[in-house]
Amino acid sequence: MWRPRRRAERRTVSPRQVHVAIVGLVAAFAVGGCTLPGRSTPSRPPTIAAQAAAPATARWSVADRGEIPAGSGLSVTAEGGLLRSLDVTDRPDHHLPSSTDGLTGRATELPPGSTVTAVAVLASPDGREVTASRTIRVAAPPRSLRATVSPGDGAEVGVGQPVIVTFNTPVADRAAAERALRVVTDRPVGEAGWYWFDNSQVQYRPQRYWPSGTKVTVTAALSGVRTGTTTWGVKDTTSTFTIGRSQVLRIDDATHRMTVVRDGATIRTVPVSLGRHQGSFITRSGTKTVMAIQRTVRMDSRTVGITGPDAYNQVVPFAMRLTWSGEFIHGAPWSEWAQGQQDVSHGCTNVSLANAEWLFNNSLVGDPVETTGTGREMEPGNGWGGGWNVSWAEWKAGSALR
């Protein structure tokens, strides 16, 4: 039988009961440390004041005022911020290569034997800029590379004079050394380039003789350049010299004559006697350059391997050296009877005393000497001008940067 539903009784809660319940709940959370089951307690977030008090810092790979081995580099990493820049110097206004990616900066090409200062600029989260620095000593290299440049600074030379860079120790990485060499001229000289004769010497010349009056500046910027496993350049060398008037000595063995051509015009003809046509006495044909001009030179045949009845040891006047092997142009009063007629020397170019003195007073180191008709070829490395006997294609191929 249907019966009407009984209305539920309505219960009221007094304000005091609500207050007691809230207090109990708060107390329960306080006792439990305000945790929920199964969850760890979160750390308290830093306050704004705490964040502002924590600027970015730099973490360096090397200690300040420390020393690192040659070949080592340095790095810096920003912590708590960003790395804006890294500047590394080994002397005032000389900035070494460095790189940064916003967090880490590196410098690897530190010159051995130098004192390096590195300055890092960092940005903190609040925008503040922080500067950090290190000063370190880079140890000297096990082997030091230096260069001698010829012609020397301030010299005036002939149109056939090559630039000669001689190293104090063999160069393993020729390309690295050649990249450090630079030649600047004050006027166009045509195509020019470097040629390595061996690991200790490289020469530079234009395809044709230098234009007279050219000012040439050569820089060997070797400081800090690594050219071997344990070898670094430790010094930069510079030389500026001038090309003088154009003068070429042309010697023809068929006529026994030397023609002196200055700025395109013949100014003197000189009778000569060359090396007699017997074995090693034959004068070399080809292009040479005057290497040295001396008032007197003692010539001892033993220094070039000549002994026995052909030996000699005497002082000759007004001598101009042409080759390492001992060829000179010099005064020879004893052979004036043969000059212009036949070859009687041990390989040198004999001229009269008067002509030798004129050449002595009117020649420059670097003047080309072009000899023809003897039948014996000039060796490319025999003297400073030997490179003129190398074809231009071969000369270009002799560069380490070809």
Q: Which residues are catalytic?
A: 330, 348
78: Cα separation from own chain's centroid: 34
Count CB atoms within 10 A of the CB of residue 389: 19
SS3 per residue for the chain: CCCCCCCCCCCCCCHHHHHHHHHHHHHHHHHCCCCCCCCCCCCCCCCHHHHHCCCCEEEECCCCCCEECCCCCEEEEEECCEEEEEEEEEECCEEECCEECCCEEEECCCCCCCEEEEEEEEECCCCCEEEEEEEEEECCCCEEECEEEECCCCCEECCCCCEEEEECCCCCCHHHHHHCEEEEECCCCCCEEEEEEECCEEEEEECCCCCCCCEEEEEEECCCCEEECCEEECCEEEEEEEECCCEEEEEECCCCEEEEEECCEEEEEEECECECCCHHHCCCEEEEECCEEEEEEEEEHHHHCCCHHHCCEEEEEEEEECCCCCCEEEECHHHCCCCCCCCCECCCEEECHHHHHHHHHHCCCCCEEEEECCCCECCCCCCCCHHHHCCHHHHHHCCCCC
Token pair for 382:
């025999």
